[in-house]
Amino acid sequence: MKAVKLKFKTPVRIGDRGIGLESVSEVIHSDTLFSAIANALSDLNEDVVEFVEKVSNGELRISSAFPFKRDEYYLPAPVKPYEKKVDPFVPKDVFEDLLIYNEVDREIEKEKPYREFELPKVAVDRITANTSIYYVSLLKFDDGGFYFLIEGNGRRLIELALRYLADEGIGGKRTWGLGRFEFEFTDFSLKTPRDSNAFVTLSVVFPQNLKSIAFWKPLIRGGWTFSRKGRQIRKPVIIMASEGSVFGEEEHGKVIDLDEIVEGFSAKVGHKVFVNGKSFLVPAVIEYGD
């Protein structure tokens, strides 16, 4: 397993459905990463179909991207009832304790690995020339950034895409120069229980068996298509299981062809559109209660 560390040279804006310009997300969801990589490969005239097929058949697994600072990695706390309040994202050693022991007895450091700030901008009315100020929330990393995990066969395609995206940027407002980064691949491992009875996902998942869900947080995904080789069309709303959701049995999820949801969707856009709902599961011990 490899961690791909994105070290940002400029502030970055990660939006989300339902989040306005004055709020910002602290995770890059795996379906967003998948789309960014696929679009980059398309712009480079590389084999996008190969990439989609590798993810779809499980040959390549991609997690969502979470914050890191130096050698400290943060991961989503499993979505389950706790005796004590647990932050949505916890350091790697705490995450491992939650996987193995189900609870954490020690104090958890609350410091965030990034700084959030608001950038003031001016909007000008095209008819009246009246102006108004609005604010855009951004993340600034000091000696850190976002990282995501990959496992399987497909590093070459990801590396090609990241070389392109490093200058192109990732996230919102890229025309402002936001989201520029350097990247590196590094070894990554997780301590997991020997005798597990559940799985925690590190990606968003489109479940194929709803009975496999033990504890979950629904995540509404939608937005617009983005491609230099097609038209911008609003995507249908899809409900996913968020990062940290717990499954009682192995749930692989699915790469969704949007033609299966909206007839003729690819004809409207000008090319096929896929949404990554594949899981990135790690074993866990979960107490289900009575």
- In this prediction, what percent of the chain has a pLDDT beyond 90? 46
pTM of the predicted model as reported, rounded to 2 decimal places: 0.87
In contact, 278 and 190? CB cutoff 8 Å: no
Question: What average pLDDT score do residues 79-106 get?
Answer: 79
112-160 per-position pLDDT tens digit:
777 776 766 667 767 776 777 767 777 888 888 999 999 999 899 999 9
- What pLDDT is recorded for position 162? 95
Percent of the chain with pLDDT over 70: 88
pLDDT digits (tens, 9 = 90+) for 167-195: 888 877 777 777 889 999 999 999 999 88
pLDDT at 19: 47
**142 CB-contact burial (10 Å; exposed 0-12 / middle 13-18 / buried 19+):** exposed
| Contact by Cβ (8 Å): 64, 29 | yes
Phi-psi region of 127 (alpha: psi -120 to 50; beta: other; left: phi over 0): alpha
Q: How far apart are CA 91 and CA 233, in angstroms?
A: 38
- Asked if the model's pLDDT at residue 267 lies above 90, the reply is no
- The DSSP 8-state label assigned to residue 237 in this structure reads P
Count of C-beta atoms within a 10 Å radius of residue 89: 19
Distance CA 250, CA 3 (A): 23
Phi, psi of 63 (to 5 degrees): -85, 175
Residue 18, pLDDT score: 46
pLDDT at 40: 92
Using the predicted structure, report yes or no on whether residue 257 has a pLDDT greater than 60: yes
pLDDT for residue 8 = 87
User: What is the pLDDT, as a whole number, of residue 134?
Assistant: 64
Furthest CA-CA distance within the chain: 68
98 has pLDDT over 70: yes
DSSP label of 13 = -
pLDDT digits (tens, 9 = 90+) for 138-151: 788 888 899 999 99
Q: State residue 10's pLDDT score.
A: 84
Question: Would you say residue 198 has pLDDT above 50?
Answer: yes
Q: What share of the chain is helix, strand, coil (3-state, %, to 5)?
A: 20, 35, 45
34 Cβ neighbours under 8 A, 6+ residues apart: 55, 62, 274, 275, 276
Mean pLDDT value across the chain: 85
CA angle, 18 as apex, 17 and 21 as ends, to 5°?
A: 95
Average pLDDT over residues 78-104: 81
